[in-house]
Amino acid sequence: MHVDMDAFFVSVELRERPELKGRQVIVGFPEGRSVVLSASYEARALGVRSALPMATAMRMAPSAVVIEPRHGIYHEVSTQVMALFNSITDKVEPLSVDEAFLDISGALRRLGEPLHIGAMVRRQVESQLGITASVGIAASKFVAKIASTRCKPNGMLLIEKDRTVEYLHTLPVQALWGVGAKTLEALQRLGIFTVADVAATPVAVLKKTLGAGGVALHNLAWGIDPRPVAPVRVEKSIGAEETFAVDTFDDDVLTKELLRLSHRVAGRLREAGLAGRTLALKIKYADFSAVSRSKAMPAGIDSAGQIYAGATELLRALGTRPQSVRLVGVRVESLEPASSAPLQLALDPREDNGRSAEMVGDAIAAKFGAAGIVPARLLKTVRTNLDQNSRETF
């Protein structure tokens, strides 16, 4: 079973603003180079989709209501969604914050037929969380994912095992995993436009055109996908990046953003109970060319101070920048459980104090929310008037 929330971020927001139901709604920051994070189906009907630049989305749907994202709330609801899934079966493979594969084969005797279980999941999602979900049920992960996509929004589709190939061969070739714009162009040059066309094409022809991907595509066209649901997914890396509203050469702007990103990444590492031994910096220039640099750390890191120190060192090592910078990103790789990873001890006690302060911040954020907890350097300057005299408060 593949269960996918419908317009997840929008749906969560509409729980508190039901008067917006049925309207064009977009979740995203309305200024700068922000992108759409989620869009209601009314907005999607006009072509608005996730990852579309907000400026483009606003031209396509000028009357849409724009809601700034609240990631803390989405994370909380996502946790509830996954807990609900785990009450159905212990074989749950999350794909993102709002979708997962569930192997329900072991739950059939206890909970009934697949359609009954799917209906129960949809009912519980709506009654307990106030949002809706679409459910695809099939004999394989690939086909279940297709089914949930085809029945959106707020629907359910069961594709019987013995009718899998028959169903797949009614679909356009774009339905297959791995068929992006370039692959589609290559296939169309061969006269391949449907899944049935792929199935009828000799493997040797597909392999010559697409390499090893041609074999995988041919298997999918025949419904062959033996991958099991994998309940334990090991994070390979944790990172964050930010696109500037205006390209910049300013080192102060770059290092401030690195500090912000370092705290974001460190918080996610500690929340996941992970530490990493490799630190990577990503820079994207105004012409969209990108450069990455990484360094091995002597021990596992999970603190913003360590990440920031390493990231700024990598930035300095790049030397003079040939162009203004459009995007900067930080990533920690080679992850392992923090409990088993020897953490790097600092000679300067202030560094250990900094990590301890971050952990206190984690506890405060968990209880009261993280909106007001930022490094002092990142506090915005606010100008206020008092007795006709201006002063700056920080």
C-beta of residue 101 within 8 angstroms of C-beta of residue 82: no
Distances, alpha carbon 186 to alpha carbons 169, 193, 196, 200, 211, in Å: 19, 10, 16, 16, 12
Q: How far apart are CA 147 and CA 17, in angstroms?
A: 30
Q: How far apart are CA 241 and CA 286, in angstroms?
A: 15
Main-chain phi, psi angles of 330, to 5 degrees: -130, 140
Q: What angle do CA 74, 79, 85 make, to 5 degrees?
A: 125
Q: How far apart are CA 137 and CA 11, in angstroms?
A: 23
Closest C-alpha among 259, 258, 241, 239 to residue 376 = 259
Cα dihedral across residues 184, 186, 189, 190: positive or negative: negative
C-beta of residue 148 within 8 angstroms of C-beta of residue 3: yes
Q: How far apart are CA 231 and CA 141, in angstroms?
A: 13
Structure tokens given for 72: 């803390």
- 4 marked as binding residue: yes
- Between β-strands 237-248 and 133-137, what pairing exists: parallel, antiparallel or unpaired? unpaired
Asked about 99 being catalytic, the answer comes back as yes
Q: How far apart are CA 230 and CA 87, in angstroms?
A: 16
Cβ contacts of 283 within 8 Å, gap of 6 or more: 290, 291, 292, 315, 318, 321, 325, 327, 328, 329
- Chain-centroid distance of CA 319 in Å reads 32
- 252 marked as binding residue: no
Closest C-alpha among 140, 171, 143 to residue 157 = 143
C-beta of residue 254 within 8 angstroms of C-beta of residue 244: no
Residue among 13, 42, 93, 99 flagged as catalytic: 99
Show binding-site residues: 4, 98
Binding region for Mg(2+): 4, 98
Active site residues: 99
